């Protein structure tokens, strides 16, 4: 083919690239405005009446720089997600904490109804509400947060500062983020803007599926927000629906990650370099009865390796109370040991110490 022929073909290809982008890339194209429109009916505004003194200002007072009196019944603003057709609403525990009354506002009908509190889980900062049957809200579909990939486009929907059903866009910045919030420290990080009032709202993928529940923002920088993975939300909600509380197995220990080899160096055998150090034991707890000792290093449960506290909490969450667990440990002077014993059910909060590292 002549040089002129190649030139003509090249020009034709360029024209096709410029004028036919949708035909070339339609497989991956999507419209977030459609996703947002379909999602809004499943997102609700949550308002609470709080009794007390010097409660946080609501959005209206904050905007006007108003003042509140010493004794006040004030409003808290947050977000919730319609979970199912019988109108369970999931939100953050801190949104409804200390509430005297809880109200849910639907976006389409502008109808506000009083909600009943079904159950709370302080450990994961989740709460489940229920409102009378209505067609005002549509249940949202929950996706699998384990399958979402870093870099995927996401929407955050909520009620920041009382601005109802605000939508912001970002990406999934990281998975499995540990930010020091306790044993279930396994956050999704996003740069979709999240503000006060967004708490309890959905983090949505391009198919409109909830892959996280927006909960926290970084105080150090704008554009660093954190969401509870949808897989954890569903597990907690199903327990709250069935029992009114979360049924958790436990070992009856407090533990810490290995920070230095000086903590675990053993005179005999190879020292463990990863795992969870048993820093204390709950008297008459399962681990105490089975013979675990302070200073033991938990390196595995059943077939699951335990590298750190996050691994331990995640592994325990997949078990049931009374499950017979094979707990692999490393003990000074003795090396590797396996203890097999039944996991217990974690007692009520007032019966155990308030430790972030309680397992």
Lowest mean pLDDT among 59-63, 82-86, 151-155: 59-63
Question: Which one of 206-215, 261-270, 302-311 scores highest in mean pLDDT?
Answer: 206-215
3-class secondary structure, 229: strand
- Same CATH topology for 29-246 and 249-351: the answer is no
Using pLDDT thresholds of 50, 70 and 90, give the confidence band for residue 262: low
| Share of residues in the chain with pLDDT > 70 (%) | 78
**3-state SS, one letter per residue, for 165-197:** CEEEEEEEEEEEECCCCCCCCCEEEECCCCCCC
Whether the CB-CB separation of 173 and 152 falls below 8 Å is answered with: no
Within the chain, residue ranges assigned H as helices are: 3-19, 21-25, 32-39, 59-64, 93-96, 230-243, 286-290, 309-317
Query: How open is the CA angle 351-119-139, to the nearest 5 degrees?
Result: 155
- Judging by beta carbons within 10 Å of its beta carbon (0-12, 13-18, 19+), is residue 247 exposed, middle or buried? exposed
CA atoms of 191 and 206, how far apart (whole Å): 16
Query: So where are the chain's domains?
Result: 29-246, 249-351
> pLDDT for 227-257, tens place per residue?
999 999 999 999 999 989 888 888 999 888 8
Active site residues: 94, 125, 199
Q: How far apart are the first and last CA of the chain?
A: 74
Q: Which whole number is the average pLDDT over 181-201?
A: 87
Q: Is the pLDDT of residue 56 over 50?
A: no
For position 223, what pLDDT does the model report? Answer: 83
Residue recorded with tokens 């919730």? 80
Question: Residue 70: pLDDT band by 50, 70, 90 thresholds?
Answer: very low
pLDDT at 95: 93
Residue 105 pLDDT exceeds 60: yes
pLDDT for residue 28: 46
Mean pLDDT of 208-237: 91
What architecture is domain 29-246?
A: Beta Barrel (2.40)
- What dotted CATH number matches 249-351? 2.30.42.10
pLDDT in the model for residue 30: 59
Report the distance separating Cα 81 and Cα 149, nearest Å: 23
**Dist CA 54 CA 61 (whole Å):** 13
pLDDT at 309 (0 to 100) = 86
The mean of the pLDDT values for the chain is 81
pLDDT digit string (tens) for 303-352? 999 998 888 888 887 888 899 999 999 988 888 999 999 999 887 664 66
């Amino acid at each position: 083919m002549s040089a002129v022929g190649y030139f003509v073909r090249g020009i034709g290809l360029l024209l096709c690239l410029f004028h036919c982008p949708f035909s070339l890339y339609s497989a991956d194209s999507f419209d977030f405005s459609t996703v947002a429109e379909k999602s809004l009916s499943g997102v609700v505004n949550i308002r609470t009446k709080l009794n007390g003194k010097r409660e946080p200002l609501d959005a209206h007072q904050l905007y006007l720089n108003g003042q509140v009196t010493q004794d006040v019944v004030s409003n808290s603003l947050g977000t919730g997600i319609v979970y199912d057709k019988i109108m369970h609403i999931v939100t953050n525990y801190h949104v409804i904490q200390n509430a005297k009354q809880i109200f849910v506002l639907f976006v389409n009908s502008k109808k506000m109804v009083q909600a009943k509190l079904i159950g709370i889980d302080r450990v994961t900062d989740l709460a489940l509400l229920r409102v009378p049957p209505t067609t005002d809200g549509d249940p949202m579909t929950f996706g699998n947060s384990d399958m979402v990939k870093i870099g995927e486009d996401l929407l955050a929907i909520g009620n920041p500062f009382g601005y109802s059903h605000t939508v912001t866009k970002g990406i999934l910045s990281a998975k499995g983020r540990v930010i020091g919030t306790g044993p279930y420290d396994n956050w999704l990080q996003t740069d979709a803007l999240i503000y006060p009032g967004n708490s309890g709202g959905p983090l949505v993928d391009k198919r409109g599926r909830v892959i996280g529940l927006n909960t926290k923002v970084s105080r150090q920088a704008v554009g660093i927000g954190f969401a509870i993975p949808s897989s954890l939300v569903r597990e907690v909600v199903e327990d709250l629906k069935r029992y009114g509380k979360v049924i958790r197995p436990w070992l009856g220990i407090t533990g810490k990650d290995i920070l230095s080899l000086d903590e675990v160096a053993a005179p005999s055998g190879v020292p463990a370099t990863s795992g969870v150090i048993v820093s204390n034991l709950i008297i008459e707890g399962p681990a105490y009865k089975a013979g675990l000792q302070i200073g033991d290093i938990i390196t595995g449960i059943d077939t699951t390796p335990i590298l750190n506290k996050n691994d331990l909490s995640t592994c325990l969450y997949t078990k049931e109370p009374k499950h017979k667990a094979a707990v692999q440990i490393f003990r000074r002077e003795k090396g590797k040991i396996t203890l097999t014993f039944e996991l217990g059910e974690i007692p009520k909060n007032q019966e155990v110490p308030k430790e972030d590292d309680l397992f």
